[in-house]
């Protein structure tokens, strides 16, 4: 199988042999992993290639990942397989894709906007039951300043166990309107979760989309209004399902 290489700009590469040069995220302890089962491994089998990414469950029927992680599924929406709480060869729950919706501004974007809009939602064919995995809340920043530090969570290209760092500084002005973190990432972390802690607990604030080729620092797309609308629509679907079951 060929590794699917995503190169968005010459100095920013994600996946491929270069990614192995960075130290990457550390394995999350077995005890802590139980709190992060909404973050899972995302595997896509294309015709001649295979991709390994990360995704986050934000509703029983929907995950969030990087748009470039979904390219191999073009024309083959059922080829994406999400493994929630992946732990070696085991997982808490799993489901295959039915529909992929990429950010409408990503395809034509250039420069830093190519990172900013590198977002996609994937609808799942089988609901991930709330009793098994609790969907992660999504951060609604409003007019608040960008967080100073975040946690980064993701799987590497060999899946294994969840990896993460909970003390990653944000360099919010390094690239306009894109999060740049002081923590390094490697292949497979693309689509991973950028989470912040607020008064209500942890929430998804962005998606890992690339890394600096110079030092491996994570580049992330912040949650925006388009993604928030997708999440709100997913919640409405869940409300209708719940009411219909009563």
pLDDT averaged over consecutive 10-residue blocks of the chain (246 residues)?
29 33 77 93 74 94 96 76 89 94 95 92 92 93 78 84 93 66 88 92 94 86 95 94 75
For residue 47, the model assigns a pLDDT of 57
Residue 204 neighbours by CB under 8 Å, 6+ apart: 56, 58, 64, 136, 137, 138, 139, 193, 194, 195, 223
**What is the predicted pLDDT for the residue at 235?**
93
Report how far residue 37's alpha carbon sits from residue 14's, in angstroms, rounded to the nearest whole number: 24
Query: Domain coordinates of the chain in residue numbers?
Result: 37-135+225-240
Query: Which residues, 6 or more positions from 60, have their beta carbon under 8 angstroms from its beta carbon?
Result: 124, 127, 128, 129, 130, 135, 238
CATH number of 37-135+225-240: 2.40.10.10
What's the CA gap between 35 and 49, in Å, rounded?
32
């Amino acid at each position: 199988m060929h590794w699917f290489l995503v190169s968005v700009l010459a100095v920013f590469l994600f996946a491929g042999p270069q990614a192995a040069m960075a130290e990457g995220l550390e394995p999350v302890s077995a005890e802590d992993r139980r709190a992060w089962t909404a973050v899972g491994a995302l595997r896509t089998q294309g015709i001649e290639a295979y991709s390994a990414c990360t995704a986050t469950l934000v509703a029983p029927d929907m995950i969030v990942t990087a748009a470039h992680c979904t390219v191999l599924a073009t024309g083959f929406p059922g080829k994406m397989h999400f493994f929630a709480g992946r732990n070696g060869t085991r997982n808490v729950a799993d489901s295959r894709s039915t529909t992929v919706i990429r950010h409408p501004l990503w395809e034509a974007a250039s420069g830093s906007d190519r990172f900013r809009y590198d977002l996609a939602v994937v609808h799942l064919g089988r609901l991930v039951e709330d009793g098994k995995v609790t969907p992660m809340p999504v951060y609604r920043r409003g007019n608040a300043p960008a967080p100073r530090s975040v946690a980064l969570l993701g799987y590497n290209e060999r899946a294994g166990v969840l990896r993460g760092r909970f003390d990653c500084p944000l360099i919010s002005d390094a690239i306009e309107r894109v999060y740049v973190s002081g923590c390094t990432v490697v292949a497979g972390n693309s689509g991973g979760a950028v989470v912040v802690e607020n008064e209500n607990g942890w929430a998804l604030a962005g998606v890992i989309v690339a890394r600096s080729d110079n030092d491996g620092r994570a580049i992330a797309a912040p949650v925006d209004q388009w993604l928030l609308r997708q999440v709100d629509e997913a919640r409405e679907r869940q409300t209708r399902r719940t009411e219909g079951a009563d």
